[in-house]
């Protein structure tokens, strides 16, 4: 019985509750929501919610942009501080551009040895060919000459175009020793016959302190001095020269038979000897012989001559010494006559 009473009460309470809730409408969202939402668009055209959202959006954009620009300048100072660092990188790029010129000096030293494009073969030093001198050298098996004409160097094949005679610079012209043809030292042009064609010119290059054959490689061409530069007292094929150490050394290198005639410029016997020697060598025709007049104990004697006299044991002013292959093989302290020179040289 009790149980039934409770059930009735509970049911009553539930009905009450339902009733109360239906009267107040406090909970339309749950129960009558579908019913009330359907008629709303028709009768209740209240756009109220719309204007409500509109003013909200109008007010909102105003504050939004305000903080945004505020935030925007914030990153700006960042780049501002970056330019502050620019000087640092500016030194960096400077360093970046510096290494670029660094490689430049590297190839420069590499090109320096090229100059050492000092190519070609040295014919002679400038000291070997003083002004007015003729310097003979061998070019691929043929004789050639180098002349210094008033400071200008020229080279020609030493072959006269008449009949192939040897040539020598004499004053203002290159003169053939056989028939006196004359050539212009500047370009080899004929100035006087019988030659009709110019001397064959050789290209040379003057640089630093030497005269070079520019097109030749070392070993391809033999450039060897075979001529003397001292004063010639007499002779063409067999020269009688005023002594210089350079010519004397050259004669020894050339394996010449060398005659040394000691001479004092104050001695009458020596002067007579000198005249006989000029007469003898003026006609001698032996290319393997060369003679030097060497001063001895006089005002013109230099240290080279003193050293050589001492080395050869000379003690008389008209001594004659003959050397073969650089070695003294004859020594006679006596005056000679013209015929004695050829005769004594022939014995050796
Ligand atoms: S060979 Fe030179 S002039 Fe005769």
Measured at the CA of 71, the angle between CA 67 and CA 75, to 5 degrees, comes to: 170
Average pLDDT of the residues in 37-45: 40
Instruction: Confirm or reject: Cβ of 191 under 6 Å from ligand 1.
Output: no
Which residue among 173, 194, 196 is best mutated to probe the pocket of ligand 1, counting the most ligand atoms within 8 A of its Cβ?
A: 194
What is the structure's pLDDT at 4? 67
Instruction: Confirm or reject: Cβ of 9 under 6 Å from ligand 1.
Output: no
Residues 237 and 267 in one domain: yes
Give the model's confidence band at 70: pLDDT under 50 very low, under 70 low, under 90 confident, else very high.
very low
Centre of ligand 1 from the C-alpha of residue 178, in Å: 5
Give the model's confidence band at 35: pLDDT under 50 very low, under 70 low, under 90 confident, else very high.
very low
Average pLDDT of the residues in 282-295: 92
Position 329 in a domain:
yes
Most confident of 56-60, 91-95, 325-329: 325-329
103-123 burial, b at 16+ Cβ within 10 Å, e below that, comes to: eeeeeeeeeeeeeeeeebbbb
Residues 278 and 213 in one domain: no
Q: Please write down the HEC assignment for all residues of 101-140.
A: CCCCCCHHHHHCCCCCCCCCEEEEEHHHCCCCCEEEEEEC
Centre of ligand 1 from the C-alpha of residue 159, in Å: 9
Q: Are 212 and 120 contacting, i.e. CB atoms less than 8 angstroms apart?
A: yes
Lowest-pLDDT range, 13-17, 42-46, 276-280, 317-321? Answer: 42-46
Give the model's confidence band at 263: pLDDT under 50 very low, under 70 low, under 90 confident, else very high.
very high
Is the full-model pTM beyond 0.75?
A: no
Position 324 in a domain:
yes
- Structure tokens of 88? 């640092």
Give the model's confidence band at 138: pLDDT under 50 very low, under 70 low, under 90 confident, else very high.
confident
Average pLDDT of the residues in 32-49: 40
Residues 250 and 206 in one domain: no
**pLDDT tens digits, residue range 143-167?**
899 999 999 999 999 999 999 999 9
What is the structure's pLDDT at 334? 93
Cβ neighbourhood burial of 278 (10 Å; 0-12, 13-18, 19+): middle
Residues 160 and 244 in one domain: no
Position 151 in a domain:
yes
Measured at the CA of 32, the angle between CA 28 and CA 38, to 5 degrees, comes to: 110
Residues 345 and 243 in one domain: yes
Residues 181 and 130 in one domain: yes
Q: Are 163 and 193 contacting, i.e. CB atoms less than 8 angstroms apart?
A: no
Last residue of a domain, one of 192, 227, 262: 227
Domain housing 182: 120-227
User: For the chain, how many structural domains are there in total?
Assistant: 2
Position 234 in a domain:
yes
Inform me whether the pLDDT recorded for 271 exceeds 90.
Answer: yes
Last residue of a domain, one of 160, 194, 227: 227
Q: Which atom of ligand 1 is nearest to the CA of 193?
A: 3
Distance of CA 347 to the CA centre of its chain: 56
Q: What is the CATH number of the domain that holds 241?
A: 3.40.30.10
Position 83 in a domain:
no
Last residue of a domain, one of 212, 227, 242: 227
Residues 216 and 264 in one domain: no
Residues 158 and 140 in one domain: yes
Centre of ligand 1 from the C-alpha of residue 182, in Å: 9
Instruction: Confirm or reject: Cβ of 158 under 6 Å from ligand 1.
Output: no
Inform me whether the pLDDT recorded for 38 exceeds 80.
Answer: no
Residues 306 and 241 in one domain: yes
Lowest-pLDDT range, 195-199, 211-215, 279-283? Answer: 211-215
Instruction: Confirm or reject: Cβ of 245 under 6 Å from ligand 1.
Output: no
Position 199 in a domain:
yes
Centre of ligand 1 from the C-alpha of residue 91, in Å: 78
**pLDDT tens digits, residue range 100-127?**
455 444 444 444 444 444 567 788 888 8
Which residue among 145, 174, 175, 181 is best mutated to probe the pocket of ligand 1, counting the most ligand atoms within 8 A of its Cβ?
A: 181
Q: Which atom of ligand 1 is nearest to the CA of 181?
A: 3
**pLDDT tens digits, residue range 302-315?**
999 999 999 999 99
Position 148 in a domain:
yes
Residues 152 and 242 in one domain: no
Residues 234 and 345 in one domain: yes
**Which residue, judged by its Cα, is nearest atom 4 of ligand 1?**
179
Q: What is the CATH number of the domain that holds 155?
A: 2.102.10.10
Centre of ligand 1 from the C-alpha of residue 239, in Å: 20
Centre of ligand 1 from the C-alpha of residue 180, in Å: 6
Centre of ligand 1 from the C-alpha of residue 160, in Å: 6
Residues 237 and 189 in one domain: no
Position 325 in a domain:
yes
């Amino acid at each position: 019985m009790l149980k039934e009473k409770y059930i009735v009460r509970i049911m009553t309470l539930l009905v009450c509750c339902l009733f109360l809730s239906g009267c107040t409408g406090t909970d339309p969202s749950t129960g009558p929501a579908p019913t009330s939402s359907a008629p709303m668009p028709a009768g209740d055209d209240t756009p109220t919610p719309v204007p409500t959202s509109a003013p909200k959006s109008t007010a909102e954009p105003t504050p939004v942009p305000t903080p945004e620009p505020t935030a925007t300048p914030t990153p700006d100072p960042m780049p501002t501080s970056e330019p502050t660092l620019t000087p640092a990188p500016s030194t960096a790029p400077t360093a970046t551009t510096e290494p670029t010129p660094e490689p430049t000096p590297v190839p420069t030293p590499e090109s320096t040895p090229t100059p050492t494009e000092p190519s070609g073969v040295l014919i002679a030093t400038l000291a070997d060919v003083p002004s007015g001198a003729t310097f003979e050298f061998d070019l691929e098996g043929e004789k050639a000459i180098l002349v210094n004409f008033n400071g200008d160097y020229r080279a020609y094949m030493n072959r006269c175009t008449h009949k192939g005679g040897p040539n020598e610079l004499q004053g203002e012209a290159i003169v053939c020793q056989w028939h006196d043809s004359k050539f212009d030292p500047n370009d080899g042009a004929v100035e006087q016959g019988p030659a009709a064609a110019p001397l064959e010119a050789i290209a040379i290059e003057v640089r630093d302190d030497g005269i070079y054959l520019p097109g030749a490689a070392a070993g391809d061409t033999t450039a060897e001095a075979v001529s003397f530069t001292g004063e010639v007292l007499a002779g063409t094929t067999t020269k009688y020269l005023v002594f210089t150490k350079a010519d004397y050394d050259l004669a020894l290198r050339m394996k010449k038979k060398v005659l040394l005639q000691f001479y004092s410029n104050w001695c009458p016997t020596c002067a007579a000897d000198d005249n006989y020697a000029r007469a003898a060598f003026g006609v001698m025709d032996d290319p393997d012989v060369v003679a030097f007049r060497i001063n001895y104990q006089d005002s013109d004697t230099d240290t080279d001559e003193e050293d050589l006299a001492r080395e050869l044991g000379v003690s008389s002013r008209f001594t004659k010494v003959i050397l073969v292959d650089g070695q003294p093989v004859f020594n006679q302290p006596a005056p000679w006559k013209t015929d004695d020179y050829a005769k004594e040289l022939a014995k050796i």
